[in-house]
Amino acid sequence: MVDELFTGANNLEGRAIREIMAVAMDAPAQAKSGHSGTAMALAPLGVTLFGRLMRHDPTDAQWIDRDRIILSCGHASILQYGLAHSFGYDLGDEDLRGFRRPHSRTPGHPERGVTPTVEVTTGPLGQGIANGVGMAIAERILRTDFGDDLIDHRTWVIAGDGCLEEGISHEAASLAGSLGLDRLTIFYDDNHITIDGPTELAMRDDAAGRFRAYGWHVIELGERANDLDALEAAGREAMAETSRPTLVIVRSHIGFPAAAMMDRREAHGTPFSATVITETKAILGVADTAFSLDPDLPSEMVEALVERRAQHTRWEAAMVAAGERGSRLRSQFETGGAMLETVAVDYFEGGKLVATRKAMQRAMDTWAVHTPGLTAGSADLTDNTGVLLKSPSQGAANPGGRQIHYGIREFAMGAILVGQAAHGGFRPIGSTFFVFSDYARPAIRLAALSHVGTLFVFTHDSVGVGEDGPTHQPVEHLMALRAMPRLHVVRPSDANETLDLVEAFLRDDNPPTTALVLSRQDFAVLGDDERRASHEGAPRGGYVVRDADDARFTLVATGSEVAAAITANDRLREMGISTRVVALPCWTCFEQQPREYRDAVLRRSTPSVALEAGATLGWSRYVDEAIGIDAFGLSAPGDYVFDYFNIVAQSLVDHVCEFLGVRP
């Protein structure tokens, strides 16, 4: 029976495939939600990858030189959970029974850090492809740095029709082809079914022609989804390719071998009925009992991986033999590629007019050489954002290059950064104009959700962009990103504060996902007293720039508007009105501080007003009133636009005087 269904499968492989297919029906049926059909159709591919092709060791899921596997079509998560269980990873029977239950290790879509073998959080289609590009870049750089005796692994991605429809797949595949990432292989599950029905409703692409045009090696397997020998041969052909990535197109039948559901859209996201499950289990030759799991299968699978585990043993010996080189590699993974030593930076002189974006280049020049895991690049705006390393550009000619030219591909860039960070050993930085964070937002969200240490540098942070006009003036973006859980949205008060915060990100062994929002326009660097307050308080997300016991008002600001608040403080003092100045560069950091600290900084018993060149929505949690921009911008010189929208020191002066009933 097994040989008739799964060509070339040995007895052990056949048992695994059948069990995974059964679980792919049982788990969604019990949860009353989930995606059975794709997981069933891809079970032979999964067993081929884990059993014949991938370099891995179930007894050490975090082995540095393991192959990385990404399920880009994350809705088929039960496939990955079934594979992890069958191949002896730390995922038990009860974990499978807990599919989609609260706080289980088998959530509805794969989540990094929750389940063994899950390298990245997937589900939003297509991002897994770009994550794979990031992991392939990471492997290539490490192999160049440390040698192929210590780094010699590959990245495998399983993707579906939806992944290839999403625009990010075009961005990422185009870049991967340009870079010649030969250790990246995507298996494309060409099952012709989406939730609405046949893919032909909306897509008639020539996927093979498209990827060949990107510079990929393409293997068209056709109707071989159940042929383990053919799948293995395709994988080995991909492994033999040394100059370009590979796409393997496999025509599968969703829901196979459930006759009542196969090739139907209902098989995509509708749990199978009890009748269909019984009929299908009869075809598979497995017990008609929910979660009838073979207790011997995981240990037998681990034993069958004897050569793969021997590779791990040989690698450990190579690490010891490599001495200091091996120690450096292990340290780079343990610290996430953090800065190795403290190096003094040349701070900007107080009072000098400097755009915060200009601090980025000084940071790169100072610390890049001391940060082994650093990669940097931009979406075609390197000169504007200042994220330029003294390193060759990444590519086939320079496999160790750490400067990455992402092209005009913000979404792919963001997801590739996530892939590099999730791979381990890297501290990636990507940059573009702040308004284009809209294009990268889904990747930023998954970065924050995944707890990966990526730094998104966004410059041209406000209407200071000037003549480029409303299309390029990000007025709502600060609040939009601040609404994202776990993301640290940081708008530094001056260039020196920017240097401090970049250094903190590079030094932290476990940095948060960070969006660093920097100005295009120059503004005054803080003076010595304010500088001390910034150095101590900026890492806490908020601090008192200037204080006064007799203050009648608190002026709160972020970014370039802090300088305006200081100017207003000076003018009001000349009028005999004492005020405080508070900077809130990072709301998320500030909320993590003890209440006593937050209360002391804000002192809400004192009337307060905020000034920020963006939407006012959200400021009510910190101040009584907010002066901002609740409209799209204006095409005009930056100074004029700031004046037009009243984002100037005089607006604070006028507000305080009006509140206090004093003539300005």
The set of catalytic residues is: 410
Instruction: Provide the β-strand partners of residue 86.
Output: none
Phi and psi at residue 171, in whole multiples of 5°? -60, -50
432 and 413 Cβ atoms separated by less than 8 Å = yes
Q: What's CA 662's distance to the chain center, in Å?
A: 51
d(CA 385, CA 457): 8
Residues 6+ apart with CB under 8 A from 537: 543, 544, 583, 601
Scan for tokens 């079509």, then name that residue: 73
d(CA 373, CA 94): 38
122 and 71 Cβ atoms separated by less than 8 Å = yes
80 and 43 Cβ atoms separated by less than 8 Å = no
d(CA 168, CA 197): 22
The CA-atom distances, in angstroms, between 83 and each of 23, 46, 155, 190, 235 are 10, 7, 17, 21, 18
d(CA 151, CA 132): 17
Q: Is 383 exposed, middle or buried (0-12, 13-18, 19+ CB in 10 A)?
A: exposed
Buried b (16+ CB within 10 A) or exposed e, 343-378: eebeebeeeeebbbbbbbebbbebbbeebbbbbbbb
The CA-atom distances, in angstroms, between 84 and each of 91, 92, 115, 121, 533 are 7, 9, 9, 16, 51
d(CA 115, CA 315): 24
DSSP summary character for residue 227: B
Scan for tokens 């040394």, then name that residue: 242
The pairing of strands 523-524 and 353-354 is antiparallel
Instruction: Provide the β-strand partners of residue 488.
Output: 514
| First CA to last CA distance, the chain | 90
497 and 533 Cβ atoms separated by less than 8 Å = no
* Amino acid type, 294: D
State the greatest distance between any 2 C-alpha atoms of the chain, in Å, as a whole number. Answer: 92
Q: Dig out the tokens for 619 from the structure.
A: 């400021």
Provide the 3-class DSSP secondary structure of residue 254: coil
DSSP summary character for residue 51: I
Residues 6+ apart with CB under 8 A from 145: 151, 372, 400
The 3-class SS string of 386-407 reads CCCCCCCECECCECCCCEEECC
Residue 457 host element (H or E): strand 455-459
Distant-in-sequence contacts of 620-623, Cβ < 8 A, 24+ apart: 622/556, 622/584, 623/554, 623/556
Q: Dig out the tokens for 106 from the structure.
A: 């088998």
